[in-house]
Amino acid sequence: MFPLRDSIRSRHFPVMNWLLVGANALVFLFELSLSPGGRETFIQEFALVPTRLFDGDLQAWLTLLTSMFMHGGWFHFISNMWILFIFGDNVEDRMGSFPYLLFFLLSGTVAGLLQVFVYPTSLLPTLGASGAIAGVLGAYIFLFPKARVVTFIPIFLFPWIVEIQAFIFLGFWFISQLYSGFAALSLPSGADMGGVAWWAHIGGFVFGLLLGRFFLLRPPPPPPRRYYQVSDVYDLPPEDYR
């Protein structure tokens, strides 16, 4: 399933969400400008390598932050930024710009720490914004469970475009992460399974779901009002806010 858009309209321009997309884009373009050897050195220096956190190198702990602005390729970058573009603006709309930035960074940090906890001896670099974005998704499913997500479902030669409620779409996504995470644990090379940091996704999502509410500064909008025109009665489209 691939999300195309959601049904929630932001009341404020998502400045911080766009800045986060821009920061990720700048770092990714910088990565592309490097030679293959320079890119490898850059990844080893600024990506999260779990075992380095226990080597007494304090600078390695900074990679919990730097790694969330790095990506391993075009598909990795575009898919992450697309998800952030669709869901991040609404979460920022309820939190405000600077609380949203703090929430994003903490989500990514918690996501990285869980990945380190599960694979403490791993030498594989972990990079990408998906852990922080998973936190955004966790907050979204709490704030807008009844929002509708327009979704592209490729089914053989007859692709479908359907509307799915957010708690179903994101709930299915989270269950798939749990399944993949536990499946990876059952393998000797579990950390290598698909090259995906499943437990970072799980950690970020749970953090956003449970703690995202503490970053809310803006109240939800009032419920839709009824309008009367001659003999017709109609409601404004629901905004699906809590």
Q: Which pLDDT does position 232 carry in this prediction?
A: 39
CATH number (domain holding residue 92): 1.20.1540.10
Higher per-residue pLDDT: 190 or 97: 97
240 part of a folded domain = no
84 part of a folded domain = yes
Q: Which pLDDT does position 141 carry in this prediction?
A: 96
242 part of a folded domain = no
Does the pLDDT of residue 63 top 80, yes or no?
yes
Q: Which pLDDT does position 218 carry in this prediction?
A: 73
30 part of a folded domain = yes
> Using CA atoms, how far apart are residues 70 and 47, in angstroms rounded to an integer?
7
pLDDT tens-digit profile of 105-159? Answer: 999 999 999 999 999 988 889 999 999 999 999 999 999 999 999 988 887 767 7
Does the pLDDT of residue 64 top 80, yes or no?
yes
241 part of a folded domain = no
pTM for this entry? 0.87
192 part of a folded domain = yes
Sign of the alpha-carbon torsion through 178, 180, 184, 190:
negative
Q: What is the mean pLDDT of residues 232-240?
A: 43
Q: Which pLDDT does position 112 carry in this prediction?
A: 95
Does the pLDDT of residue 228 top 60, yes or no?
no
Q: Which pLDDT does position 217 carry in this prediction?
A: 82
> Using CA atoms, how far apart are residues 29 and 47, in angstroms rounded to an integer?
16
pLDDT tens-digit profile of 42-54? Answer: 999 999 999 999 8
CB 131 within 8 A of CB 112: yes
Does the pLDDT of residue 203 top 90, yes or no?
yes
- Per the structure, the count of domains in the chain is 1
Does the pLDDT of residue 190 top 80, yes or no?
no
Q: Which pLDDT does position 193 carry in this prediction?
A: 52
Q: 224 pLDDT band (50/70/90 cuts)?
A: low
Q: Which pLDDT does position 57 carry in this prediction?
A: 77
67 part of a folded domain = yes
Q: Supply φ then ψ for residue 38, to 5 degrees.
A: -65, -35
Q: Which pLDDT does position 188 carry in this prediction?
A: 63
Instruction: Tell me the residue range of the domain where 77 lies.
Output: 2-235
Q: Which pLDDT does position 236 carry in this prediction?
A: 40
pLDDT tens-digit profile of 71-82? Answer: 989 999 999 999
User: Long-range contacts of range 43-49, CB-CB < 8 Å, 24 or more positions apart?
Assistant: 43/70, 43/125, 43/127, 44/125, 46/70, 46/127, 47/125, 47/126, 47/127, 48/112, 48/115, 48/116, 48/125, 48/126, 48/127, 49/122, 49/123, 49/124, 49/125, 49/126
9 part of a folded domain = yes
> Using CA atoms, how far apart are residues 219 and 242, in angstroms rounded to an integer?
9
